[in-house]
Structure 1
């Protein structure tokens, strides 16, 4: 073989080897979000943050396969099956809806694929010793943590009687369970009403809640549908405090609610009100850094809880992937997915935009009180209330 051809052959073999190693090292993450449908206000914010994800995880090249589930549970499950069987993802981020996350648990268990959900309800990850939930983690604060923030605020304000108006689904169920537990014996829930995310009217539920003459009303909804009960309450002359959950944190909620949602009290992650936090807040530096990055791309006052959660998911995976790779397992294999699951479960003191994560075998969410603050809507924007 001529010397020149020999050198070319060696170079080609070297390049092929390098490309093969690169392909082996590529980490593939599936992302299932609700870019369309009733939960689009949440999914769009998620997608905005995903677009800011760096192209690496744990120092290795990363590829992100993003699918829209249309806010439909069945479609979310199909997406999970496609991501695991066709795209061979190493982990899934999402979905945005609790019902979709619960429906996807079987796929996670069957394929041994970790999920970092972007839905709030604690039932996604509890009980942790359930075999299906072994693979489930989530970014948003548990409802129990946020419910305690609401109850603490109500107690400070001397509120004794509360009416509850919640979604007639797993989100509303979880909030009903956690709020009534946190309220204990000193805050009485005098009415419980439910509504569908797609309802055009909630007049009957509002009138019943008002008839109970509560000191305050809690609306347990998320996204733009949560604005309907509040607008109806004001139309019917309700004058008392209105609390909402951290699920309202979308720009669309502010737009749909307009002046009717000014004064709303709600628990939120610190990232939403990053610049207003006291300098002593342990999350402020990271939260402000992400706020600067996000708003440089999408405009002032556009940051939401959901964007912060989605970027936090990348930070969590970046940390865990780096530690999983040290085991010698290769991305794209069952061994790597198992190592990644174990690494996620061993996350310690990781500061993300909405809190500090300490994940363990008994806690697949990992936030503590540093992940909650009280917010208030002032002049059409989310503000810090404390």
Structure 2
């Protein structure tokens, strides 16, 4: 009788073990997403959130859960969200944040947890120089130097010799000044002023007057989102007649809406998705970008596409390319899967996104080339591709 009971108990235990293993084999993939959907960067974070809602909920036969939190454009909250993803949600990967200061602050957390991260922010310092911590970090936005070179090439073509600079008083502005200075030096363009303003500032009159006193042929405003209108309005109100350039950090409909006539004629480098329908038929991004534009506008309205939603879409494409490979080496929710996912992201080749063609390597966790940029002009309140 005892032996019969023992066999019954062992049978139940075996069944429980099998059920446990089956559950592990079919564990969901958890993706932690921290975005700046409120605060100064909200006009960037909201289209990213809208795009996350369009990403597939099954990849490689595994269910995918996207856990989306708002970091309010704040570095401290971005870190809190990241720690929560890791400690409470056992995420396999983190996507975000929207802005460079937030993304930079998250690196320490994901590296310590050995959890891969795909940033949606622009600063090259997020992935460069490569080290033991940044080996866990990837990003989809074009680097500052790539876009700086595009601006400088346009300036040379227009005969610009002297440039005034004003940027955010944070990592974004500092990063842009550093990279733009290198690009300008290559073409012997003089940067005659270097001013800063905060994302929360409502006036930049003093900075505009200082810039104009140096008599620049053109001005570059290195900031992101709707706050970028502030220095441009100040320059226009003071009668500045030179060419104004912005960075790809303003490429969304809210910038056009808030800026109105003030931003008419502005030039900026952009990811191809912003002008997908205007691209040449043989552009490698055109087909994928048009597919994304169709899906996004069906859900959010005509002319609602921005670069920022596109960065989130490309993060999703990278995830779809890497997950099937990682599943061969580990189960979701385990350190083995996270490590395999990191390795698979690093090995990505020829993934066509809406911003460019991604080819990652051990030393390049962006993987974009010059096909990831075009020049755009604001004409009659709309984006106009500049061949």
Normalising by structure 1, report the TM-score: 0.94
Contact 1:350-1:357 within 8 A present in 2 as well: yes
Aligned partner of 1:67 in structure 2 is 69
Structure 1 position 351 matched with structure 2 position 380 = no
2:6 equivalent in structure 1: none
Q: What's the CA shift for 1:17? A: 4.2
Give me the whole-angstrom Cα distance separating, in 1, the residues matched to 2:21 and 2:298. Answer: 35
Q: Which of residues 195, 201, 206 is equivalent to 2:197?
A: 195
Shift of 1:222: 0.2
Q: Indicate the SS of the match to 1:348.
A: coil
Q: Is the 8 A contact 1:139 1:312 kept in 2?
A: yes
Alpha-carbon shift at residue 18 of structure 1 (Å): 9.9
- CA deviation profile, 1:119-159 (whole Å, cap 9, x unmatched): 0000001111x211111111100111111111111111111
Render the CA deviation track for 1:303-345: whole Å, top value 9, x for unaligned: 0000111011000011011111122x10100111000000010
Q: Give the C-alpha shift of residue 174 in structure 1.
A: 0.4
| Number of the residue aligned with 1:110 | 112
C-alpha distance in structure 2 between counterparts of 1:350 and 1:319, whole Å:
8
Partner residue of 1:148? 149
Which residue in the other structure is 1:323 paired with? 325
Pick aligned residue for 2:37 from 32, 35, 38: 35
**Cα pair 1:58 1:320 within 8 Å, conserved:** no
Q: CA RMSD in A?
A: 1.7
2:7 counterpart residue number: none
Q: 2-side partners of 1:101 and 1:38: how far apart?
A: 15
Of 364-373 and 49-58, the range deviating more from structure 2? 49-58
- Corresponding residue for 1:253? 255
Residues 301 and 381, structure 1, Cα contact 8 Å, conserved in 2: no
Match of residue 132 from structure 1: 133
- Partners of 2:37 and 2:285 in 1: CA distance: 28
Structure 2-normalised TM-score? 0.93
Deviation at 1:58, TM superposition (A): 3.1
What displacement does 1:112 show? 0.3
Q: Residue 375 of structure 2: SS of its match in structure 1?
A: strand
Output aligned runs, 1:166-245, within 5 Å.
166-185=167-186, 186-245=188-247
Equivalent residue of 1:31, what SS? strand
C-alpha separation in 1, matches of 2:272 and 2:87? 37
Whole-Å separation in 2 of the counterparts to 1:295 and 1:79: 29
Distance in 2 separating the partners of 1:228 and 1:262: 14
Per-residue CA deviation, residues 210-243 of structure 1 (Å, 9 max, x unaligned), is: 1111110000010011011111111111111100
Residues in 1 aligned to 2:20 and 2:333: alpha-carbon distance in whole angstroms:
17
Output one character per residue of 1:243-292: Cα deviation in whole Å (capped at 9) or x when no partner.
00000012211111011111110000001110001112111111111111
Structure 2 equivalent of residue 262 of structure 1? 264
Deviates further, 248-257 or 21-30: 21-30
Give 3-state SS (helix, strand or coil) of 2:26's partner. helix
Alpha-carbon separation, structure 1, partners of 2:58 and 2:44: 25
Distance 1:18 1:52, change over 3 A: farther
- Which residue of 2 is the match for residue 6 of structure 1? none
Return 5+ residue gaps in structure 1 as ranges: 1-8
Counterpart-to-counterpart distance in 1, 2:30 and 2:237:
50
In 2: Cα distance, 1:258 partner to 1:20 partner: 57
For 1:344 and 1:19, how far apart are their aligned partners in 2? Answer: 27
* Worse-matched range after superposition: 85-94 or 130-139: 130-139
SS for the counterpart of 1:65 is strand
Report deviation, 1:22. Answer: 7.2
**What is the distance in 1 between the residues matched to 2:114 and 2:26?**
19
| C-alpha distance in structure 2 between counterparts of 1:18 and 1:60, whole Å | 17
SS across alignment from 1:366: coil
Q: Cα 1:59–1:354, aligned 2, differ >3 Å: closer, same or farther?
A: farther
CA–CA distance in structure 2, aligned partners of residues 24 and 167 of structure 1: 46
Match of 2:59 among 57, 60, 65: 57
Give the aligned partner of residue 316 of structure 2.
314
- Structure 2: gaps of 5 or more residues: 1-10
The answer to whether 1:293 aligns with 2:265 is no
CA distance in 1, matches of 2:95, 2:60: 16
